[in-house]
Structure formats: C-alpha cells, structure tokens
Amino acid sequence: MARIAVVAGDGIGPEVVAQARKVIDAVLPGVTATEYDLGAARYHRTGEVLPDSVLTELAGHDAILLGAVGDPTVPPGVLERGLLLKLRFAFDQYVNLRPSRLWPGTAGPLANVKPGEVDLVVVREGTEGLYAGAGGSLHRDTPAEVATEESLNTRHGVERVIRDAFTRAARRERRRVTLVHKTNVLTHAGSLWARAFEAVAAEHPDVTTEYQHVDAAAMFLVTQPQRYDVVVTDNLFGDILTDIAAAVTGGIGLAASGCINPEGRYPSMFEPVHGSAPDIAGKGVADPVAAVLSAALLLEQLGHPDAAVRVTEAVATELSQRTPGVPLRTEEVGDRLAGYATA
Ligand code: NAD
Ligand code: IPM
Ligand code: MN
C-alpha cells in the first residue's frame, strides 16, 4: 500500500490538508501517511527550514501531499525558496500540472462562460526560469543599488516539459497545445522555447498548436478561457496565469496542482495552487476543495484512478450544492466530501 509524506505547512495548510487526508482515508483505507513538521513553526523553534535528513526521508515516499508554505513572521523567500522550491528542484518536479475547469453547477465570474465550457490544463515548467535563483545585487541600500534576476532555460529542461504537454494533449479530446511566452521581448529564452516547441510539434502531427504572447494570453484567459486546452509555459508565466485561470473558474480555493517527476525517480508532490492565506488562517473557513482535488491527482499518480474519480465526483456534488455567498466551514466540507466519495 502507498506511503505518502504529508507536509501540512503554514496558515490554512494544516486546515485544508486535514480534509484531504480524511478523503484519502475514506476512498483508499490503508494508505500510510507520515507527517513532517516543516514550515514557520519549526523555523522559529529550531532555525531549520528543510534539513537534508528530512529531504532524504521524503525521497523514500511514494508521493508528498503539501498544504501551503509561507508566513508573515518569516522573511519572504526563506520558506518559499528554502522549503517549497527546494522540494520541487531536489525532486526534479519539472511538470507543474495545473488543471482548471468551470465545474458544472457552479457559476464563475464571467457572464459569457457557462459551466462545463472551460476545461484547460496549464503545464508549467517547474525547475528553471526565473525561479532558478540566478542573479544578485550590488551596492545595497545606496542610490546605486542594482539587482538582477536571471532566467535559466536549458534545451533539455524546456524540451522535456513541452514534450509532456504534447503527450497530455494527444490524450485529450481537443488535442491542442498553446505555447505562451514573450518571444517579442525575451528573444534569447523565447527563441529557445519556440524552437523546442516546433521540434516537439513535428513529432505530433495529430496535435494542433498555437503560440501566444503572455500578455495576450492573460487577456484571453479572462475573456475566452474556453479556447484553451493544454497551455505550456515557463515557471513564472505559469505561476501568474494559473492564478488567473483559478479566478475565472470559481476561485483559488478550487485550484489543484501536481508537481510531477514523470519518470518517477523522485516522489511527485501534490498541493493546492493557493498559499497559506494568513488573512483567514485559524478561522476554519478555508475552502479545502483545492487540497482535496490535489489529493485526487495524487491518487491518480499512485495508480488508483477509480479512487481519484470518486474524489472528483464528490467535489462535483459538493460544488453543485453550494449557494453563492453562503460561507463554508472547512471541516464540514471535508466531512461531506468524504461522505460523497464513499456513498
Ligand atoms: P494566498 O493564496 O495565500 O491568498 C490569496 C487570497 O486568496 C487571500 O485572500 C486568501 O484568503 C484567499 N485564499 C487562498 N486560499 C483559499 C482557500 N482555500 N479558501 C478560501 N480563500 C482562500 O496568496 P498570498 O496571500 O499571496 O500569499 C500568502 C502566503 O502564502 C505567502 O507567504 C506566499 O509566499 C505563500 N504562498 C504559498 C504557496 C504554496 O505553498 N504553494 C502558494 C502561494 C503563496
Ligand atoms: C505557487 C506559489 C509558489 C510559486 C511560491 C510560494 C514559491 O506561488 O505554488 O503558485 O511561485 O510557485
Ligand atoms: Mn502561485
């Protein structure tokens, strides 16, 4: 039976992860889950962010379920880079998979888009780009201060994530991949992405392709999200576009993700797209659906597609019964989802 590691993390992380675990236990009894105490509390207590010994232990699991990382009491970047990005990089989770759909029975914010019409997936590169950490600063706190961040793009890294996007598209109904970049300004990295895209596209004559600049894609995601099937893009563009995609499909509380190492050499990690939401943490009002749908992606990855479908259908039932504007309670939603998934 599968062994998963759980990193609940900060803020609403533990609140929503508890519901995801409840649902996993309901549909797949016998999964062993080991909790790892990482995040702001441990950092304050011990100064540790992600000790090497813990990284080694995590590597021995079949998958990782993560809540959220980041806290206002910790300087920006310490936990985000030192814990979350370190995991994505150390475990070579180069496919950051972020599906968005406008669930039947729910109302998105767009008057021109009907439920069921949006079903897209962003394949966000997860280990390179501006996230690689290259750059530096000079003359700090002087009028001459300069800071640079460099975007790292390797042919290997770009081509493999594009290949993953095409493979996914080939299995979907519309078989369409949109490359999103900014080739008109980022001429070095943009050219690499465009050439790699063209090369991989040639291997998939059955898949339709298009290219959009990221600014236009941001606009079309709001005006016509229905037009997208699979979107492949770099790390930072993907970060931003997936919050937009979440917003137009019912909100950040529903957006799930998988940080995937497709070869299975390292564990993949499943986490909501949202963060630790300090503004609502501790109130018991966070929507656990994003975490629960991330658990569905985890179950699928671990080879339990039936369990994943039961979880997804439970979410569909839950969402079809919500009344807009009525506040939710995190635990009650978790209880209902576990019930629907086992009914
Ligand atoms: P956030 O996603 O935490 O919150 C943005 C807004 O969305 C807030 O108003 C919040 O209340 C709301 N929200 C988020 N999740 C929700 C849920 N499940 N139900 C209802 N409302 C929800 O983004 P932020 O405020 O920019 O960042 C807060 C912290 O989280 C920062 O430290 C940031 O670095 C970190 N962060 C972590 C991750 C991650 O762990 N993957 C992702 C994004 C941000
Ligand atoms: C996300 C988050 C992270 C990212 C941060 C917290 C490092 O915003 O998972 O979307 O930028 O990838
Ligand atoms: Mn983000």
Predicted pLDDT of residue 324: 82
What token pair was written down for 335?
A: 């209880």
Q: How far apart are CA 301 and CA 63, in angstroms?
A: 9
Identity of the amino acid at 64:
I
Q: Which residues touch 111 (CB under 8 Å, ≥6 apart)?
A: none
| Sign of the torsion formed by the C-alpha atoms of 214, 155, 200 and 249 | negative
Angle between helices 187-202 and 155-170 (to 10 degrees): 40
For ligand 2, what atom is nearest to the CA of residue 235? 12
* Alpha helix positions (H), 124-212: 155-170, 187-202
For the record, the structure tokens of 279 come out as 């503004």
- Catalytic residue list: 131, 182, 215, 239, 243
Ordered structural domains, the chain, with CATH:
1-94+261-343 (3.40.718.10), 98-258 (3.40.718.10)
Q: Which DSSP string corresponds to 5-19?
A: EEEEESTTHHHHHHH
What is the Cα 255 distance to its own chain's centre? 8
* DSSP per-residue letters across 102-162: --TT---S-TT--TTS-EEEEEEE-SSEEEEEEEEEESTTSTT-EEEEEEE--HHHHHHHH
Tell me the β-bridge partners of 33.
Answer: 4
Evaluate: CB of 206 within 6 angstroms of ligand 1.
no
274 CA: nearest ligand 1 atom: 2
Q: Whose CA is nearest to atom 32 of ligand 1?
A: 70
Q: Ligand 2 centre and the CA of 100: distance in Å? A: 17
pLDDT tens-place values along the chain, 343 residues long: 899 999 999 999 999 999 999 999 999 999 999 999 999 999 999 999 999 999 999 999 999 999 999 999 999 999 999 999 999 999 999 999 999 999 987 878 888 899 999 999 999 999 999 999 999 999 999 999 999 999 999 999 999 999 999 999 999 999 999 999 999 999 999 999 999 999 999 999 999 999 999 999 999 999 999 999 999 999 999 999 999 999 999 999 999 999 999 999 999 999 999 999 999 999 999 999 999 999 999 999 999 999 999 999 999 999 999 988 899 999 999 999 999 999 9
What whole-number distance in Å separates Cα of residue 108 and Cα of residue 219? 16
Interface predicted TM-score (ipTM): 0.99
Question: How remote is the CA of residue 275 from the centroid of ligand 3, in Å?
Answer: 7
Distance 245 CA to ligand 1 centre (A): 15
Please give the structure tokens belonging to residue 9: 């993390």
Q: What is the rounded CA–CA span in Å between residue 175 and residue 210?
A: 11
Q: Specify the pTM.
A: 0.98
State whether residue 5 is helix, strand or coil. Answer: strand
Task: Report CA(72)–ligand 2 centroid distance (Å).
Answer: 15
Give ligand 2 pocket residues (Cβ under 6 A).
Answer: 70, 80, 84-85, 239, 273, 275
CA distance 65 to 62: 10
CB 153 within 8 A of CB 185: no
Tokens of 323: 């009344």
Decide: 103 and 254 in contact? Cβ < 8 Å. yes
Nearest to 40 by CA among 82, 70, 1: 70
